[in-house]
Amino acid sequence: MRHGKHTFKVGRTGSHRRCMLANMLKSLIENERISTTVVKAKELRRHAERLITMAKKNTVASRRNAIAELMVTYNSLTHKEARLVKKGDKSSFSRDRIVIDKLFGELGIRFVGRNGGYTRIIRTADRIGDSAPTCYIEYLK
């Protein structure tokens, strides 16, 4: 029996699904609001809320789990980039490093007093081409 075996397929292979969700999570953390279809947003909510729970713990293990979930690849910094970072210039960071810093810095602190329900889905009009229901998914303020 398949009881309790929730799967989010949307006509994609497993690796494509994982990469798509990781990219959507990075965009959601970076911009705090993205537009997508309702089906993708409902699945994204599960992962986004789990990431915030990890960020609230702020341990080394939770940071490593979040990095694995977001499929972050850390490339070592060159000497020049390392000097710029020490001076406070974060523009030399890759997008992935900025996303992890924002997740564990700003977002983790914002939701410390909240026990869940960190995201909101706001439905919008149907998409023109295929009439798919679209929505905004955003982190609460």
Q: Is residue 8 part of a domain?
A: no
* Coil vs helix vs strand at 132: coil
Overall number of domains in the chain = 1
State the Cα angle at 53 between 52 and 55, rounded to 5°.
60
Q: What is the CATH number of the domain that holds 24?
A: 3.90.1030.10
Q: Is residue 90 part of a domain?
A: yes
Q: Is residue 6 part of a domain?
A: no
* Coil vs helix vs strand at 117: coil
Q: Which two tokens stand for residue 35?
A: 């537009």
Q: Is residue 93 part of a domain?
A: yes
Q: Which domain holds residue 124?
A: 14-139
Q: Is residue 80 part of a domain?
A: yes
Query: In angstroms, what CA-CA distances link 27 with 36, 70, 128?
Result: 11, 11, 23
Report mean pLDDT in 10-residue bins for the chain, 141 residues. 85 94 96 97 96 97 96 84 82 81 96 96 96 97 91
Q: Please say whether the beta carbons of 136 and 121 come within 8 A.
A: yes
pLDDT for res 75 = 77
Q: Is residue 59 part of a domain?
A: yes
pLDDT for res 105 = 95
pLDDT for res 76 = 80
DSSP 81-127: HHHHHHHT-GGGS-HHHHHHHHIIIIIHHHTTT--S--EEEEEEEEP
pLDDT for res 88 = 82
Q: E-strand spans in 1-141?
A: 33-37, 119-126, 133-139
**φ/ψ (deg, to 5) at 138:** -145, 155
pLDDT for res 38 = 96
CA atoms of 68 and 63, how far apart (whole Å): 9
Query: Which residues share a beta bridge with 34?
Result: 137
pLDDT for res 117 = 96
CA atoms of 8 and 17, how far apart (whole Å): 8
Q: Is residue 118 part of a domain?
A: yes
pLDDT for res 92 = 64
Q: Is residue 128 part of a domain?
A: yes
